[in-house]
Amino acid sequence: MSMTTAKTDEVVKETPAPASPPDQRERDRMRRRLARKRGGGWWPYVFLAPWFVGLFGLTIYPMLDSLYLSFTDFDLLTPAEWVGTKNYEHMFAEDPVFWDTVHATLLYVAVSVPLKLALALGVAMLLNRDLKGIGLYRAAFYLPSLLGGAVAVAIVWRQVFGGDGLFNDFLGWFGIKGQDWISSPDTAIYTLILLAVWQFGTPMVIFLAGLKQLPRDVYEAAAIDGAGPATRFFKITLPLLTPIVFFNVVLQIIDAFKTFTPAFVISNGTGGPLNSTMLYSLYLYKKGFTDLEMGYASAMAWVLFLVIAGFTAVNFIASRYWVHYDD
Amino acid sequence: MSAITPTTSPLHKLRSATGARRIFIHTLLIGVAVVMLYPLLWMLSSSLKPDTEIFTHPGLIPSEVRPANYSEGWSGSGNSFSLYITNSLIVTIGAVIGNVISCSLAAYAFARFEFRGKRIWFGLMLGTLMLPTQAVLIPQYTIFYNLTWINTYLPLIVPKFLAVDAFFIFLMVQFIRSIPRELDHAAMVDGANPWQIYWKIILPLMKPALITTTIFTFIWTYDDFLHQLVYLQQNDKFTVPLGLTLFLDQTSGSSYGPMFAMSTLALLPTLICFLIFQKRLVEGLATSGMKG
């Protein structure tokens, strides 16, 4: 009918005159009903019911349970046995593999995230212009991100960087004699890092969307004032893009800490050679599901959670000083 | 000021570079693309080469095409690969249905209702986005162990019906917010209750978001190696990624061809999704990032 939109409601408020009294009452009733409906009653809880079950049953309760388990010896088959802080003491003071893991993981995060983001931003800037075949380029650069988590890709990677693999053939063109990059403890982690950098497509797409939104007139003004490419990049592009840089940094750091599949496949589940590819998640998996030391693995899980939360918090706090929001 | 037309603006001159610069940029981009895609092409070509040739001839054209790699790989790891594909399909289809239903329900509630503690719940939802799955893996495992769900597909599917993938809730909230509220109000005036509004108005209108959710859920579940590794223990329950790892254990060294063949096949579903929905995937990603 004629009074079916919210806009009608507002019109009614300002011009009450023409409507006949019963019609008016009807509209008031309707508006109250609308307000009540938006206030929700029990409806929102109906829609949120599955999510609530998931939140409490599969997230909050497990978080608390894993905190409890981290203070126990637990092998799944016999009841958990309280051991106080033994797991944490063992982790920090006695378990050399844990420190190998920390070393490998921090190296992986610290090298792969900046390289990946730099490459993503660089390519995004190259693509941010009227270029023929831009869709094709964007697709080609994004494809590895979509495939990158697959076991199949990690299997291929293992062969690419093997002793007689593709990478050494490539080096051969330049007269460089390569080695087996996968089985050397000094280089194995870098093959994982390269695999991560190879997947720069996701942040690239996000950067590209951000670049498209930058105001053109600022660049026009800068160009008129004679600002060169470097000046424009550091004084305009980068500052305006900082919210997106920040978003990407947070996401990529979290992602990097969680990496599991390639480390598992490339080392065939061992984390070797010499624990050099024993990323944190892989060691957690081994402890929990191969050795059935689930108490210890829970302690590791909480440490990982706190480290990621810490990194994210530091990121958010630091962002006040370098992220530029224009509002 | 604003009277500068695109054709005369200095910026335009900057952007539409000279021919030489254009060629340079294309060369650079093509170079990067070739380097990036070469490993995938090498995989494809190796899947057709005889084993002896894979590591001795790095070129892409095999001297002799050996399709037997595919038939050997298909049946080469104890079970037929068709079993792994079937199992992967069960898991991914279940996950897609679960995510589409549960996440759209939650998103509708967050986008359209005011209720007590909404900000806190919404914040918690965003918080779970950053929670590493490893942090809850062991307690979840004990829950499913006590339910005797280990070595079934339930631990991989049921959580999706409980909207644990907050990314998609967020994506859909953003989308629903862009649907005019007037439509809801009109239906309400006509006597529709919120369920009917969700079912008859919101859900049909958010089809693009549902398609994005479907594709990403499919790809991410298909590739979710960690959870499949943890929950599926017997060979006959194995999915494609688990089936592939069986090739790693064969140290005989004579099965590289079949391994590359099955790796190629394993990437095919994702590749097809990508080719069909490339634009939508990229756009879904970009908009979710923009509002972060």
Q: Quote the CA–CA distance of B258 and B46 in Å, as a whole number.
A: 9
Phi, psi of B66 (to 5 degrees): -120, 85
CA-based nearest distance B282→chain A, Å: 7
Three-state SS string over chain B comes to: CCCCCCCCCHHHHHHCCCHHHHHHHHHHHHHHHHHHHHHHHHHHHHCCCCHHHHCCCCCCCCCCCCCHHHHHHHHCECECHHHHHHHHHHHHHHHHHHHHHHHHHHHHHHHHCCCCCHHHHHHHHHHHHHCCCHHHHHHHHHHHHHCCCCCCCHHHHHHHHHCCCHHHHHHHHHHHHCCCHHHHHHHHHCCCCHHHHHHHHHHHHCHHHHHHHHHHHHHHHHCCHHHHHHHCCCHHHCCHHHHHHHHHHCCCCCCHHHHHHHHHHHHHHHHHHHHHHHHHHHHHHHHHHHCC
Instruction: State residue A219's pLDDT score.
Output: 87
Verify whether the Cβ–Cβ distance B138 to A297 is below 8 Å: yes
Instruction: Look up the ipTM and state it.
Output: 0.88
Close Cβ partners of A312 (under 8 Å, ≥ 6 residues apart):
A250, A253, A254, B130
Q: What is the DSSP pairing of strand A72-73 with strand A81-82?
A: antiparallel
CA-CA distance, B292 to A312, in Å (whole number)?
14
Dist CA A249 CA A252 (whole Å): 5
Confidence check: pLDDT of B5 > 50: no
Residue with tokens 């897609």: B96
Across the range B81-101, mean pLDDT stands at 96
HSE of A289, CA atoms in CB hemisphere, 13 A:
23
| % of chain A with per-residue pLDDT over 70 | 88
pLDDT at position A85 is 96
Give the span between the Cα atoms of B188 and A9, in whole angstroms. 13
Distance CA A59, CA B135 (A): 9
CB contact under 8 A, B185 and A4: yes
- The pair of structure tokens assigned to B269 is 């579903």
Pick from A54, A63, A155: CB nearest B163: A54
**Which of residues A144 and B53 earns the better pLDDT score?**
A144
CA dihedral B79→B81→B85→B91, nearest 10 degrees, is 30
Q: What is the pLDDT, as a whole number, of residue A3?
A: 37
List residues bridging with A177 in a β-sheet.
none
- Closest partner residue to A50 (CB to CB) among B118, B140, B163 is B163
> How far apart are the C-alpha atoms of A193 and A262, rounded to whole Å?
10
Q: If you average pLDDT over residues B251-259, what whole number do you get?
A: 72
> Is A261 in Cβ contact with B225 (below 8 Å)?
yes
Q: How far is B292 from chain A (nearest CA, A)?
A: 7
Output the pLDDT for position A217: 87
**Selection from A29-33, B66-70, B235-239 with the highest mean pLDDT:** B235-239
Distance CA(A62)–CA(B135), nearest Å, equals 8
Tokens of A145: 């991100």
8 A C-beta contact, residue A261 and residue A154: yes
Residue A325 has pLDDT above 80, yes or no: no
SS3 of A234, please? helix
pLDDT at A82 over 80: yes
With contacts defined as CB-CB under 8 Å, which chain A residues touch B233?
none
Torsion of CA B41, B43, B44, B47, to 10 degrees: 160
Band (pLDDT 50/70/90 cuts) for residue B21 is confident
Is pLDDT above 90 for B13? no
Locus of tokens 């929670």: B131
Question: With contacts defined as CB-CB under 8 Å, which chain A residues touch B245?
Answer: 151, 265
- Identify the structural domains of chain A with CATH numbers, from first to last: 96-322 (1.10.3720.10)
Residue B124, pLDDT above cutoff 80:
yes
Residue whose C-alpha is closest to residue A61's, from B163, B136, B103, B122: B136
Give the chain A residue nearest B198 (alpha carbons).
Answer: A47
Residues of chain B above pLDDT 70, percent: 90
| Sign of the dihedral defined by the CA atoms of residues A170, A176, A180, A182, in that order | negative
Average pLDDT score over residue span A268-272: 89
Q: Does B47 score more than 70 pLDDT?
A: yes
- How many CB pairs lie under 8 A apart between chains A and B? 307
Show residues of chain A in contact with B2, CB under 8 Å: 217
Give A 232-271 residues with CB within 8 A of chain B: 243-244, 247-248, 250, 254, 257-258, 260-261, 264-265, 268
Rounded to an integer, the average pLDDT of B141-150 is: 96
Mutual orientation of helices A294-322 and B118-130 as an angle, nearest 10°? 110
CB burial of residue A169 (10 Å; 0-12, 13-18, 19+): middle
User: For residue range A147-178, what is the model confidence (pLDDT) as tens digits?
Assistant: 999 999 999 999 999 888 889 888 888 888 88
User: Which chain B residue has the Cα nearest residue A149?
Assistant: B223
Segment A74-82 shows an average pLDDT of 94
pLDDT at res. B253: 52
**Which of A188, A185, A192, A182 lies closest to A113, judged by CA?**
A192
Identity of the amino acid at B262: M
- pLDDT tens, residue by residue, A216-229: 888 888 888 888 88
A206·B226 Cβ contact <8 A: no
Please name the residues in contact with B81: beta carbons below 8 A apart, sequence gap of 6 or more. B73, B74, B75, B240, B243, B262, B265
Please tell me the predicted confidence (pLDDT) of residue A14.
Answer: 43
Confidence (pLDDT) at B22: 86
What is the pLDDT confidence band of residue A38, given thresholds at 50, 70 and 90?
low
Least confident of A18-22, A132-136, B76-80: A18-22
Q: CB under 8 Å to B179, separation ≥6 — which residues?
A: B201, B202, B205, B206
Say yes or no to pLDDT of B286 above 50: yes
Q: Residue A17 above 50 pLDDT?
A: no
Distance CA B229, CA B246 (A): 12
Contact assignment for B138 to A298 by CB distance below 8 Å: yes
Q: What is the mean pLDDT of residues B109-116?
A: 92
Structure tokens at B290: 């923009």
The closest CB to that of A37, out of B194, B282, B292, belongs to B194
**pLDDT value, residue B4:** 42
Domains of chain B: 17-74 (no CATH), 80-249 (1.10.3720.10)
Lowest mean pLDDT among A104-113, A172-181, A274-283, B274-283: B274-283
Burial of B141 per CB tally in 10 Å (0-12, 13-18, 19+): buried
The number of beta carbons lying within 10 Å of the beta carbon of residue A18 is: 8
pLDDT above 90 covers a percentage of chain A that reads 62
